[in-house]
Structures are given as structure tokens and as C-alpha cells.
Structure 1
Amino acid sequence: MTEPDFLTTTRAFYDAIAVDYADRFRDELAGEPLSRAMLAAFADLVRAESVRTGRADGPVAELGCGPGRVTHHLHGLGLDVRGIDLSPRMVELARATYPGLDFAEGSLFDLPLCDGELAGAVAWYSIIHTPAERLPEVFAEFARVLAPGGLLLLAFQVGDEPLRIDQPFGHPVTLDFRRQQPDRIAELVRAAGLRLISRTLREPEEGVQPTPQAYLLARKPA
């Protein structure tokens, strides 16, 4: 089957900027207490579900992990976590930077995971390159790989108009960053059979981040 153009373009974009991107955002979470709080809440919920069911802590995956910084942070929170990314160059960098963790290539449309394999999944700004009409497929795939009771954490920029990034770090590549409305993403979460737990909106901060950010937590029904 022929790969959609937007996947080919996204892969080429991140392959080209991987080294510069990793250097630029390596320590970003250190200055993001609200982001760290959301990731910590996700980790706590995953552990609480393990206690409730009496099962050992199940595996977690960051879907669209880039150079692996969030995967590494989740590992530091005590989770059994792996990273999956579309870009081979990003995966290569993640493996080199965090050799003790597992990273693999994969698309959000066809994750290299079994049905019900995950106790939790994090999509940290990784749905932002998917056209709106294809997002239901992505959320169906998220639901497929989650175990009953499994948690999903989403982060994305809020808005209606896409942001086009042209020649980042001087590389001759271009990509659209698609902002979303929380109500629309919540609808897609529910349509995929997941139950929304929490919806958090972070307002813009001058000199920190120019657009609102949204964090959604959902659970696959037991």
C-alpha cells in the first residue's frame, strides 16, 4: 500500500532536523512544571490501575517520541516505557542518548504493538501532523493497543489554523503543525471508545509559549 504523502513529508522533515531538534529541546521539561505535573499524574494513574487490578505494572509507550526526552522522563517516574517514532533518525538519536531504553520505528496508523498490550500511552504533541479527516484512524489505533483500564495522555496546541514551519534550523524542509480544539479531540476520544477523565487548558504565557496548550487524559473502559 502506498504511504500517504503527509507521512512521507513528516518523516523527511524530522529526519532532516533531528540533531538540531534534539539539542534545542533536550532540557525543555526542566522549565515546564505544568507539563511535568501532567506526566506525573499519568504515571500515578497507571500505577493506581495496576494496584486496582492486582496486575504487575504493564508497559507504557510514548507514541511519536522524537529524540526520547519524554520517554526518558516517564522512565524516571518509574514506568516500564518504550518509545515509537516515525523518523528513523529520531529513533537512532533516542537509542544513542538513552541506551537503556527501547525505541522503535512506527507510524501512529500502524503501531508495532499487539492488541491490548499497553497499560498506558502518551501522545505528546504527536497528533499535530495528521490531517483532521485521518485522526479517527489514529485514535482507533490508540484504543486498539490499550489494555482495558489503560490510560491515554494527549498534548497538543489549541487553535484553528495550522502553523507552517519553513526551513527550520536552516534545513530545506517544510511542515504544517495542525492545532486542534479540545472539544473536537474529546469527541474523537469518545468515538474511539475511550472515556475522558480530564481536560486541562494552559493559557498562553508571554515569552514562554505563544498559543494555548491542551492536555487530555482518557481511559479505556475495563
Structure 2
Amino acid sequence: MHGLANPARFLRIARWLMPLCLSAGLVVMLGALGWGLFFAPAERLQGETVRIVYIHVPAAWLGMAGWMGIAAAGFAELVWRHPLAGIAARACAVPGAVFTGVCLLTGSLWGRPAWGTWWVWDGRLTSMLVLLFLYFGWMALSQASEDSNGGQSRAPAIFGLVGAVNIPIIHYSVIWWNSQHQAPSITMGKSAMAGDFLWPLLLATLGFTLVFAGSALARMRAILANQQAEARLRRKALNEVYRTP
């Protein structure tokens, strides 16, 4: 990890890793969605609406994983002063928020035929909505910190670590409270899903994850390029000032 602390070394790796993740992710994702949406069977009770699972579940996983990326980057920034940690957190924020929004949208589309309503204020849905607001709050705080302190404030890192408390709440909410949301179908080492549904879901999750990783790497490269351009402009401005008689 510390070997990647050098921005130049990171950029050399990201230059080939980013397109690899994006291209492989798109191929796997589209193939898995084609399999799940058009060739997988309908579910006995949920019928054709079960096909939403191939988008909803990967989006939920990546919404939570994005925040864990922010929290891990915040920890690295606070403990090891990792120079790329803040950039990594910023790169995870937008894709994480997008996937959280997709999760909430597809969950509503799923809930209407399954529960007879678009929304219920149960533990899983409410904590996922809180996660979306946490993303918005983190991005606003990160932007404000950058504007006032040149990106040196530790407030976003601390906020990311505190907000991580919501992740186990999301995960265990269907176990802790009486919830309309179904219990986890996939747990460590076993699955309650039939293979006809499980395999396209796992492939879709892999594809979405690779796309998320490629998007985060692309955002990190863009942020670094913007910082380098700003640094060059500041050096040029200082040189102009010193040349002024």
C-alpha cells in the first residue's frame, strides 16, 4: 500500500489498470445482465420482478463498499498520512452515491409489486437512505474543506469513519428488527438461492464491482491531474511575481 503512496508510481499502474477494469467490468456486467434479464427463469412467487435483483443487489453492495472505501481511506489518512488517501476517498464518493441511489430506486420498483407500496420506513430502507445522505454530506464537507484549507482538513476523514457505523446497521437491520425486507439470501459459505439465480447475480456483482473500481481509478487520475495543473499554475504565477521589477 505504501508503495503506491508515490503519485507517479500510482499513475503508472492506474494507466493500464483503469481501462482493464472498465472494459472487463462492462463485458462481464452486460453479459450477466443479459443472462439474468432474458434467459434466467422467473421466480415462483415473485415472477418476472425477480429480475430487478441483478441490478439491485450489486448496487446495494457497492453503495456500502463505497463508504467502506471512504472509511478505509480516512483511516489511512489519519494514521499514516497516506498522500493518496484523501484522493481515494473523493474518488469513491460519487460512484458510491450513484450506486446507493440506484439501490434505492430499484428497491422501490421491486417493493411496489412485492409489498404493495413504493416505500416503507423499515430498518433496511431507512438506513440505506441515511447512507445516501451521508454521501451527500461527506461530499459537501470535502468540498468545503478543500476550499478553505487546500484539502488539508481532517474533518472528511473523521466523518467517513464515524459514518461507517451505519454499514453494520444496514447489514443486520433485517435480523435486528421486524422488517418487510427479506433476510440475506447469501451468507458466508452458503446460499439460499437456486443456481439459476445465483450465478448470474454473482457475475453481475463482479462486473459492477470492476466498473466501480475502474471509475474510482479514473476519478483519482483526474483529481491528480487537476492538482498537478493547479500546482504548475501556482508556480508559474510565483515566477511571474518574482520576475516583476
Shorter-chain TM-score above 0.5: no
Higher strand share: 1
Structure number, greater radius of gyration: 2
What TM-score do the two structures reach when normalised by structure 2? 0.26
What TM-score do the two structures reach when normalised by structure 1? 0.28
Higher helix share: 2
With CA pairs under 8 Å and 6+ residues apart, which has the higher RCO, 1 or 2?
A: 2
